[in-house]
Structure 1
Amino acid sequence: MSVQTVANAGTTETIQEFFTRFGAGDLTALLDLFTDEVDWNVAGSATVPWTGRRSTKDELAAFFKSAGEEVEATERFEVDRIVADGDTGIALGRFIHVIRRTGKKFSSEFALHIAVADGRIRLYHMFEDGHAAAEAFAA
């Protein structure tokens, strides 16, 4: 899907494009999917480097870089369902990651709450098993 198509796309298509670009590892294209100011939050422990609030594209770039450096391999990543109502969507799925610094696996189901404006993501709230993430980062 091209950037122009995404700009005219609905919420479901924008969320699907997010997963496509995230999976491809194309940081520039991924960041283009977000508005300049974002309401971003990944709930969790302060010991997990990718958790917390962010609001700018520079902060998002740091998030994606950190996640890429911290996660050695994704053994599994599945999106089970995307449900959209107007400009708001929810994605449900599951994943298994391996954390580089400890070699431990981190397995979780997730819910991702996204809101879209003009084909761009303006709100991104990720809910995952924060306890399991913190355990995977513990030495």
Structure 2
Amino acid sequence: MSVQTIAGTTETIQEFFTRFGAGDLTALLDLFTDEVDWNVPGSATVPWTGRRTTKEELAAFFVSAGEEVETTERFEVDSIVAEGDTGVALGRFIHVIRRTGKKFSSEFALHIAVADGRIRLYHMFEDGAAAAEAFAA
């Protein structure tokens, strides 16, 4: 299967959100380089936090996020700013953690770097304390 790359950094970030929202794991993973610098700082009690570097690790993240989180109330990207191969997306969301039924709301900043239309760096910043609280029974 050939990988279709996206023209620019802003378009790549927009396409990430489109594919993530559609739940198409194969298409989503195609947006990433074979090795990626992925980091979501947070608590060890939150399954999606931590560092990842391979597509297998990313696939496990996306599957876990789909199983653990319901985002029906709100997910908004307020702005995407890009310069060269680096971009930042700012937004907000409200998640419901399925295993506890607790809501987790946060603003977020997503730092992405792109190489040849594919994501090589993904650093997500959200309210880690609120996430850990939502996972606490």
TM-score bucket (shorter structure)? over 0.9
1:85 is matched with 83
CA–CA separation in structure 1 for the residues paired with 2:21 and 2:120:
20
CA distance in 2, matches of 1:34, 1:92: 20
What CA distance in whole angstroms lies between the structure 1 residues aligned with 2:5 and 2:60?
Answer: 27
CA distance in 2, matches of 1:49, 1:74: 20
Query: TM-score when scaled to structure 1?
Result: 0.95
For residues 24-51 of structure 1, what are the alpha-carbon distances to aligned partners after superposition, in whole Å with 9 as ceiling and x for unaligned?
0000000000000000000111000000
Taking a change above 3 Å as real, the CA distance of residues 78 and 3 of structure 1, as seen in their structure-2 partners, is farther
Distance change >3 Å, CA 53–CA 126, structure 1 → 2:
same
Under a length normalisation based on structure 2, what TM-score does the superposition of the two structures give? 0.96
| Deviation for aligned residue 1:3 | 5.5
Task: State the 1:111 CA deviation.
Answer: 0.1
Alpha-carbon distance in 2 for matches of 1:135, 1:34: 30
Deviations 1:77-118 (A, max 9, x none): 000000001000000000000001100000000000000000
Deviation digits for residues 33-78 of structure 1 (CA, Å, limit 9, x no counterpart): 0000000000111000000000000000000000001013431000
Deviation at 1:130, TM superposition (A): 0.1
Counterparts of 2:52 and 2:5, CA distance in 1: 26
Give the one of 35, 53, 56 matched to 2:54: 56
- 8 Å Cα contact 1:74/1:95 also seen in 2: no
Q: Are residue 29 (structure 1) and residue 30 (structure 2) matched?
A: no
Contact 2:5 2:118 in 1 (8 A): no
